[in-house]
Structure 1
Amino acid sequence: MSLVNSLVIGYGNSLRGDDGIGIKVAQIVADWHLPKVRSLSLHQLTPELAAELAQVDLAIFVDAYQCADPDVVKIHPLKPSSSIQFKSHFSDPEALLSLTQALFGKCPQAWWVIVPGISFELSDRLSPLAKQGIKQASQQIRSLVKGLVTENMVRQPICTKSV
């Protein structure tokens, strides 16, 4: 099976406990050394990422959200939002996709992988819940970059918003 030209963007704050989930997942993806699959570990989404997104067919954004249920790693399809608010950073991937579309006339197919976490205080350690979610998210991302998306991978949110 051939891989899709992909960019995995994990973002968050690794000094705020489980908020570092996205960064850890992006590091795991980098360790796979898969051709056509790049990963970035970032503190936040910035406008400069639009140029990177315009060069790929698939973008996967990875972030943490506050939820105590270990079985709720969620994958949401993303589309550019209807409006662009220019800021120094973006709080959601859809705004970044909108900027990519506006600047380059195209944007990749995109997914938002959100992983549950419970500890967002000052710490460089991940909770056991976060570690379990990272493992599950990594497996699902591997399927996404291989083009293997199944209906039961895509779930609706049942806990609080992403943090």
Structure 2
Amino acid sequence: MKKTVMVIGYGNDLRSDDGIGQWIANEIASWHLPSVESVAVHQLTPDLVDSLASVDLAIFVDACLPVENFDVQVQSLLPACDIDSNVHTGDPRSLLALTEAIHGNFPVAWWVTIPGMNFEVGDRFSRTMEAGKAIALVKIVQILDKVNNFWVESRAVA
């Protein structure tokens, strides 16, 4: 029995690097992985809650401004302490909190952020984003492998 996974790539695909989340989600969807649903959305909205409640793992993917370095960041997520009524601002923690409030559960979740340089109107990624998208895909595959290997090993022991 494999774990079910939902990859949610979000951002504005008409604002250059901001569209990376949707690009990643569409790329993963093209792989036709069993037990993996991949959705590309403009922003995080409450209509995703029912889907999140029915999966074991959620991977959120978004662009970010570079902070200290230009590394792709992967962090585990827990629901926000309080539900932000403004879920569309792009914080997956609020969406997880809403999922938990409505359904009583939420999936294990990871947030993959890829630093970008160009958020102007356009449809081309900067060089920074081009490098980051390959790294992000590798990191997402590592998460999927780790989760599926753990699931297979734990079933074999039981």
User: Scaled by the length of structure 1, what TM-score is found?
Assistant: 0.84
Over the matched positions of the two proteins, sequence identity in percent amounts to: 45
Is 1:20 the counterpart of 2:14 in the alignment? no
- What amino acid maps onto 2:4 in structure 1? N
Higher helix proportion? 2
- The corresponding residue for 1:160 is none
3-state SS in 2 of match to 1:48: helix
Q: Distance in 1 between matches of 2:105 and 2:48?
A: 14
Number of matched residues? 148
CA distance in 2, matches of 1:61, 1:88: 14
Deviation at 1:27, TM superposition (A): 0.9
Q: Secondary structure at the match of 2:130?
A: helix
TM superposition shift of 1:8: 0.3
Q: Which has the larger Rg?
A: 2
Partners of 1:5 and 1:35 lie apart in 2 by 8
Aligned equivalents of 2:63 and 2:92: distance in 1? 13
In 2, the alpha carbon distance for the partners of 1:138 and 1:69 equals 22
Once residues 24 and 48 of structure 1 are traced to their aligned partners in structure 2, the CA distance between those partners, rounded to angstroms, is: 21
**Per the alignment, in what secondary structure is the counterpart of residue 37 of structure 2?**
strand
Alpha-carbon contact 2:87-2:95 (below 8 Å) kept: no
Cα separation, 1, equivalents of 2:124 and 2:80: 34
Unaligned runs of 5+ in 1: 149-163
Following superposition, the deviation at residue 83 of structure 1 comes to: 0.5
Quote the RMSD (CA, aligned, Å): 2.0
* Structure 1 residues 76-101: Cα deviation after superposition (integer angstroms, max 9, x where no partner): 10000110132462420000000000
Q: Displaced runs of 4+ in structure 1, greater than 6 A?
A: none
Separation in 2, partners of 1:59, 1:95: 14
What TM-score, normalized to structure 2?
0.87
